[in-house]
Amino acid sequence: MVSAHLDHLVVAAATLAEGRSWVEEQLGVPMEDGGRHEAFGTHNALLRLGSSAYLEVIAIDPEAPAPGRARWFELDSPRMAERLAHGPALVHWVVAVSRGALEGADPVHGEAMALSRGANRWTLTVPGDGSLPMGGVLPSLIAWDTPPPVHSLPDRGVELRQLALAGPESGSLGARLEALELVEPPLVVAADQPSFKAILQTPTGLVTV
C-alpha cells in the first residue's frame, strides 16, 4: 500500500503553441514556459493547480531529433494524432509516490525511467510502447529527485476540484486506485467507454476540460 497524491494533469496537443493557447483560452490565465524532454523529443508549458499539483501541455518538439523509442502519452500513435487533429485534449494524469512505492508498482503502470528536463530530475513509469495505462484513466507514477515544478510556478488562482474517470474495466481501475491510497484529488469512477475529465476552479468560475 502506498500514500499518493496528484502531481500533474497532462494535456496533449498537435503543437505546443496550439495547446498553450487552448488552455489559456479555456481557463483565462497565462501558462509558464516549460522546457524540452530530450529522451522523448517533446516540449511543454506549465500551469500551477493549487499548492501541490500542476497542469502540463505537451507536444512533439519539431526541432528535436526522433527518440530511440516510442514517445510517451501515445504521441506517436495514429489514434492520438487523429484525436489531436480535432484540438488539444486532457489525456492523462500523473500521481506522486515515494521511491519505494515506485519500485514496487504494478507493471501495468509501465517501466520506471530516470528522466530530466533542465534542472528537474525524476523517475516516471512509462509503458515501453508509449501507450496510456488503461486508456489514460490509470495514472502514471512519479517520484521526484528535485523539488516538483509546482513550487516554482506562480499562483494564477486555478485549482482542481474533481477528476471524473470512466472505463469498461472500472472495477479493476477502482481497485488499483484504492491500492494507491490517494489522499487527493476527489475522484468519480464510472463504468463506460474510457474518458477523463477535470473540473477546475478558475478566477472566473468552474471549467471542465
CATH of the domain at 12: 3.10.180.10
- In 10 A of CB 171, how many CB atoms? 11
Q: What is the mean pLDDT of residues 65-93?
A: 96
Structural domain includes residue 163: no
pLDDT band at 1 (very low <50, low <70, confident <90, very high): very low
For residue 42, the cross-strand partners are 37, 60
Structural domain includes residue 131: yes
Diameter of the chain by CA atoms?
43
Give this prediction's pTM. 0.93
Domain count, the chain: 1
For residue 168, what pLDDT is reported? 65
Q: 119, 142 in Cβ contact below 8 A?
A: no
Q: What is the mean pLDDT of residues 108-115?
A: 91
CA atoms within a 13 Å half-sphere pointing along the CA-CB vector of 173: 25
Structural domain includes residue 58: yes
User: Which candidate, 204, 208, 130, 133, places its Cα nearest to that of 164?
Assistant: 208
**What is the identity of the amino acid at 2?**
V
Structural domain includes residue 39: yes
Can you give the residue range of the structural domain that contains 58? 4-155
Q: What is the mean pLDDT of residues 31-59?
A: 96
Structural domain includes residue 164: no
Structural domain includes residue 208: no
The grid coordinates of residue 140 equal 502514471
Q: 151, 96 in Cβ contact below 8 A?
A: no
Structural domain includes residue 165: no
The grid coordinates of residue 9 equal 494533469
Structural domain includes residue 204: no
For the cut 90, the answer to whether the pLDDT of residue 206 exceeds it is: yes
> Which of these ranges, 22-26, 36-40, 99-103, has the smallest mean pLDDT?
99-103
